[in-house]
Amino acid sequence: MEKSLNWREFVITRAIKASGYSAIVFVLLIFVFLMREGLPALGEVEAGNLLSIRWYPIEEMFGILPLITGSIIVTIGAALIAVPFGIGTAVFISEIAPRWVREILKPLVELLGGLPSVVLGFLGILVLSPFLRVFLDLPTGLTAFTGSLLLGGIAVPTVVSVAEDALDAVPRAYREGAWALGATRWQTIWRVTLPAARSGVLTAVMLGIGRAIGETMTVMMVTGNAPVLALKLGSLFSPVRTMTATIAAEMGEVANGSTHYHVLFFIGIVLFLISLGVNIAASSVVFRAKKRAERILS
Amino acid sequence: MNKIVIENLSLQYSDGTESLRNVSMEIPANAITVLFGPAGGGKSTLLRCLNRLNDLADVEVVDGKVIIDGENILDPKTDVIALRRKVGMVFARPVVLPMSIRANLTYGLELAGEKRRSKLDEAVERSLKLAAIWDEVKDRLDDPAIALSGGQQQRLCLARALALQPEIILLDEPTSGLDPLSTGKVEAALQELKKDYTIILVPHSVQQAGRTADYAAFFLQGELVEYGEGSVIFTAPKDKRTEDYITGRFG
């Protein structure tokens, strides 16, 4: 009896351990693969070419700067839309809405998060971009701004869902304490509830941005895919091409092992580094907040 | 002089269960009025009615009036924010904010728009003295408030309520998490405070009710069973149920 129990313990612990370690192994393998396929690009293409502003692979022009700025401008635009809107919605759901509204809104938002991005891209092409072209009087509706709007829409459910959970976890006693001191509802939200939920809200923002920067399908459909350097504010209303869209669009056509192939993988490395940077920045802020709380408690 | 007059107050939860049934009582100024009874009797609900904190929970007023200084505060037109500044509250678990002791005290005043440094400093000293904690913290006002002991935190919360210069102080089981020594300090502070304030206390034990009450009200399942001077209620209650509860036969 005892022996068989020990044996089962052994198998279960090992199985859990194995699945835990396998996650690390997979990430490492992907990383190694990415490096092996991408790093040769540095040897095959001159740095000057790689950092130029012309992306025209057929003519051996591999300037990735337009792609990077394209990704950045679309992501910043999306974050500017998703963060205030998402946090606002989360505050509304958790603090202001009556219970029956909350019970409808929360599942609805989560449903929205499960919408396939290709469907949103479809909406973008057929509805949003013609509307923007006419409304803003642009030569084409397929612009960075269109992409930002849609990506913002995609990131909002993520932000709302995570931020609402964080706000909901703030003890009721904090709110009642503030109310009893004569704080208005807005003062309570702004000065007590949101700061108390800060780390969770920050995680929500970072997950939202991560979702936006990694999104491929929608941006490929609605940003126009022109690899033009986007540095001016006006570039927001002209077509851009993002890193993800470039990889997705060209990887299928490229000769295995060619320079173009290696450069596409190199773009993958850049993308990987950017999202790594975002994640590190996020966790260090959260970590610092935790450190501060620990210091106060000690 | 009656500070608060409650007339035929009935409350119910949103699912229809009754919380308070036709309660009428007059609460005098400059005294400690104790609301006691077994859990679920409606004491806390009544307390939270007096600063309209129930607005935000799922409790609704079915009928009745709560009149403070001649005004029915249950009237929808009442300025709830001003009411809550006039009626301070201390909770069972001290909710200190994660900031310095001084900032905890000035928080409510800053919310109310007070910016003058001299006024704020004056309020800090005055309220800490009133809550009988000044001597313990005067040298470390800028330390984080969370570093204080439980009893000190609770008195800090009392001081924070006092900093707003309320007229009425509601206390919902303020010493339920404290050791006897700290409990004694809080009770002593209350005895001092009643000279200037109207105090309504929900104690966490019958013993505390007996120690502190000038007036006492016994609640049982939403009903006000008996209300009168503490010395009478705790020695010669008229109602059999009150007597059973006080002598420990139930509850």
pLDDT value, residue A267: 92
Are B107 and A293 a contacting pair at CB < 8 A? no
Query: Which residue has better confidence, B251 or B7?
Result: B7
Are B91 and A182 a contacting pair at CB < 8 A? no
Is B23 a domain residue?
A: yes
- Give a three-class secondary structure readout of A120-146: HHHHHHHHHHHHHHHHCCCCCCCCHHH
Residue of A nearest to B100 (CA): A296
Question: Does A15 share its domain with A75?
Answer: no
pLDDT value, residue A104: 92
pLDDT value, residue A170: 87
d(CA A142, CA A145) in angstroms, rounded, equals: 8
Question: Does A80 share its domain with A152?
Answer: yes
Q: Which whole-number Å values give the CA distances from A139 to A135, A143, A232, B48, in the listed order? A: 11, 10, 17, 62
- Percent of chain B predicted with pLDDT > 70: 99
Residue of B nearest to A196 (CA): B98
**Which tokens in the block code for residue B151?**
């009893």
d(CA B129, CA B133) in angstroms, rounded, equals: 6
Kindly list the residues from chain A whose CB atom is less than 8 angstroms away from the CB atom of residue B161: 180-181
SS3 A159: helix
CATH number at residue A67: 1.10.3720.10
Our measurement of the distance from residue A113's CA atom to the centroid of its chain's CA atoms, rounded to an integer in Å, reads: 13
Are B98 and A296 a contacting pair at CB < 8 A? yes
In terms of residue numbers, what domain contains B10?
2-95+167-246
Q: Which whole-number Å values give the CA distances from A182 to A8, A95, A190, B53, in the listed order? A: 59, 17, 14, 10
**Residues of chain A whose pLDDT is less than 50?**
297-298
Report the domain count for chain A.
Answer: 2
Residue of B nearest to A187 (CA): B111
Question: Does A19 share its domain with A82?
Answer: no
Question: Does A172 share its domain with A128?
Answer: yes
Q: pLDDT tens, B81-117?
A: 889 889 999 888 888 877 889 988 888 888 888 888 8
> How many CB atoms sit inside 10 A of residue B74's CB?
19
Kindly list the residues from chain A whose CB atom is less than 8 angstroms away from the CB atom of residue B164: 181-182
Question: Does A261 share its domain with A114?
Answer: yes
- Percent of chain B predicted with pLDDT > 90: 14
Q: Tell whether A192 lies on the interface with B, counting CB pairs under 8 A.
A: yes
Nearest CB partner across the interface for A297, out of B56, B146, B157: B146
Q: pLDDT tens, B194-234?
A: 888 999 999 988 888 888 999 999 998 888 999 989 888 88
Q: Tell whether A184 lies on the interface with B, counting CB pairs under 8 A.
A: yes
pLDDT value, residue A26: 93
Average pLDDT over residues B23-41: 89
Is B36 a domain residue?
A: yes
Report the domain count for chain B.
Answer: 1
Are A182 and B84 a contacting pair at CB < 8 A? yes
Average pLDDT over residues B185-189: 88
User: 0.90 exceeded by the pTM?
Assistant: no
CATH number at residue B78: 3.40.50.300
Q: How far is B49 from chain A (nearest CA, A)?
A: 12
pLDDT value, residue A295: 54
Question: Does A105 share its domain with A164?
Answer: yes
Question: Does A248 share its domain with A101?
Answer: yes
Question: Does A74 share its domain with A201?
Answer: yes
Q: What is the mean pLDDT of chain B?
A: 87
Are A184 and B91 a contacting pair at CB < 8 A? no
Residue of A nearest to B93 (CA): A173
In terms of residue numbers, what domain contains A28?
2-38
Kindly list the residues from chain A whose CB atom is less than 8 angstroms away from the CB atom of residue B82: 182
d(CA A35, CA A44) in angstroms, rounded, equals: 14
Residue of A nearest to B82 (CA): A182
pLDDT value, residue A32: 94
pLDDT value, residue A298: 42
Q: How far is A188 from chain B (nearest CA, A)?
A: 10
pLDDT value, residue A293: 54
Question: Does A31 share its domain with A177?
Answer: no
Query: Which residue has better confidence, B33 or B40?
Result: B33
Kindly list the residues from chain A whose CB atom is less than 8 angstroms away from the CB atom of residue B95: 173-174, 176-177
> How many CB atoms sit inside 10 A of residue B209's CB?
24
Question: Does A169 share its domain with A28?
Answer: no
Average pLDDT over residues B12-31: 85
